[in-house]
Amino acid sequence: SQQGEEDPQALSIQEGENATMNCSYKTSINNLQWYRQNSGRGLVHLILIRSNEREKHSGRLRVTLDTSKKSSSLLITASRAADTASYFCATAPSGNQFYFGTGTSLTVIP
């Protein structure tokens, strides 16, 4: 399987703290994307980082990509209770087929 893996599987933090989750993948990629899923809902796109980029920011989100290690990290700064959700990375090695990781379940305690 080309599916990526997120680490940790579950993360629980206090409101205001930073949350970091990691994604490892297996094949070379064109880009890596991060998505968020609230319980029982569809996924929402957060950010895309291309294979020639090393870091990208969007609001309270910071994504890094290390293609030599086939890994990426998502940092959420100053977390809020509303950030409670599952977070998935998705890779597209080639063409139009996306591969999603197993997800990190984030709980932000008010």
Partner 1 sequence: DGGITQSPKYLFRKEGQNVTLSCEQNLNHDAMYWYRQDPGQGLRLIYYSQIVNDFQKGDIAEGYSVSREKKESFPLTVTSAQKNPTAFYLCASTQRRSSYNEQFFGPGTRLTVL
Among left, alpha and beta (phi > 0; psi -120 to 50; other), residue 51 is: alpha
The DSSP symbol for 82 reads: G
> Least CB distance from residue 31 to partner 1, whole Å?
6
> Least CB distance from residue 109 to partner 1, whole Å?
22
Tell me, what amino acid is at 92?
A
Query: 105, 95, 99: which is closest to 70 by C-alpha?
Result: 99
> Least CB distance from residue 41 to partner 1, whole Å?
6
Q: Which residues pair with 55 in a beta bridge?
A: 64
User: Contact between 92 and partner 1 (CB under 8 A)?
Assistant: yes
User: Contact between 50 and partner 1 (CB under 8 A)?
Assistant: yes
What residues line the site for partner 1 (CB under 8 A)?
1, 3, 9, 30-31, 33, 35, 40-45, 48, 50, 88, 90, 92, 94-103
